[in-house]
């Protein structure tokens, strides 16, 4: 329900200002949550049977062809961020950290979608639907990529356990 009425120019400007604030807020919330909230084996983050170990995302969305084009938010936050664009190691500790940070990234993007309705306070009702579409277009590719990568990282970890040594890059 629209409660703030601004000129069209100010409304558009406010939209451009509010989205980054909402997205950064989601990132900061997830960044400061303890790691225990991001267990890759929890119901929300684990791979479900319909995902076929992440292959469904490549089959339907061809994720491996475009995932390299996505920005890596972890690279922006120098001290607390974790780069997920490519593997930088193959140790058990690194791969486990990657799984946790992948779950953190996924939750960040889910949370960044949720506040699309906030725009209803200062835009015409139809704009809320545009904001939902925008939120989905911006965040779903990142969510899909995390859900595609996590089972592949788990497979590397399992190979690591089976061989009793670090796995060479096959990601």
Residues spanned by the domain of 144: 8-163
Does a structural domain hold residue 2? no
Q: Tell whether 67 is covered by a domain.
A: yes
* 83-to-8, 37, 69, 170 alpha-carbon distances in Å: 39, 19, 14, 18
DSSP label at residue 91: S
Report d(CA 110, CA 22) in Å as an integer. Answer: 12
Residue 3 in domain:
no
7-25 residue pLDDT tens? 999 999 999 999 999 999 9
62-121 residue pLDDT tens: 999 999 999 888 767 656 778 888 888 889 999 999 999 999 999 999 999 999 999 999
| C-alpha 17, offset from chain centre | 21
3-state helix, strand, coil in the chain (%, to 5): 70, 0, 30
Total count of domains within the chain: 1
């Amino acid at each position: 329900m629209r409660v703030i009425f601004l000129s069209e120019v100010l409304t558009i400007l406010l939209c451009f200002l509010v989205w980054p604030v909402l997205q950064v807020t989601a990132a900061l919330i997830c960044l400061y949550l303890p790691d225990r909230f991001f267990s890759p084996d929890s119901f929300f983050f684990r791979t479900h049977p319909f995902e076929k170990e992440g292959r469904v995302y490549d089959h339907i969305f061809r994720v491996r062809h475009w995932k390299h084009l996505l920005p890596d938010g972890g690279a922006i936050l120098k001290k607390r961020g974790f780069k997920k664009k490519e593997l930088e190691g193959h140790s058990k500790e690194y791969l486990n950290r990657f799984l946790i940070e992948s779950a953190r990234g996924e939750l960040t993007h889910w949370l960044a979608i949720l506040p699309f309705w906030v725009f209803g306070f200062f835009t015409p009702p139809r704009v809320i639907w545009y904001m939902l579409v925008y939120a989905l277009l911006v965040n779903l590719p990142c969510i899909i990529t995390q859900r595609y990568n996590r089972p592949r990282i788990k497979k590397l970890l399992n190979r690591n356990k089976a061989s009793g040594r670090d796995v060479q890059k096959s990601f």
